[in-house]
Amino acid sequence: MRRATRARLVSAGLALAILCVFSLAALLEPSSHGHGTHTQLGLGTCSFLALTGQPCPMCGATTTWTLLAHFRPIAALRNQPFAALLFTITAGVFGVAISEVLDPRERWSRLAAWLGPREGRVAAGFLALMALGWVYKAVLMGIVGKDL
């Protein structure tokens, strides 16, 4: 299989997967509590929250993605800023995937080459931002209460 064909197929699969996740987020109703939107998918309540009374590290992520899919960016940022960042990065990946489907130019290879020497710092940055998002959500839930 030619390299360009392989890149198109991989990119099409990635774009389709992201489109499915974004579509699902658009179909859900964001929880007025700021967390718990995932229960609309038939999933249980957060075990971490139930056991500790504190939010989990990604508390409110599904609600944030749903808010963004409903074009409510300010509410999404206020709810869980790290999840909003992940949504934005995912939208960027979707854009690159579509670009690669339409006109393969080895964007993934260039991105991997750029990311390779920086992956430790990028991973540490993501973990730090996730921790800050967790602290933010814990403070927000502590100040406002369990129902956001």
Predicted structure pTM score: 0.90
Look at residue 142 in the predicted model and tell me its pLDDT: 87
What distance in Å separates the CA atoms of residue 43 and residue 112, rounded to the nearest whole number? 34
What separation in angstroms does the CA of 16 have from each of 38, 83, 98, 125? 21, 20, 9, 28
pLDDT one-digit tens code per residue, 39-56:
999 999 999 999 998 999
CA distances from 145 to 19, 55, 87, 139 (A): 34, 11, 25, 9
* CA–CA distance, 133 with 77 (Å, rounded to integer): 10
- For 104-148, the pLDDT digits (tens) are 999 999 999 999 999 999 999 999 999 999 999 999 998 655 544
Long-range contacts of 43-46 (CB under 8 A, 24+ apart): none
Nearest Cα residue to 54 out of 132, 131, 141, 127: 141
pLDDT higher than threshold 90 for residue 65: yes
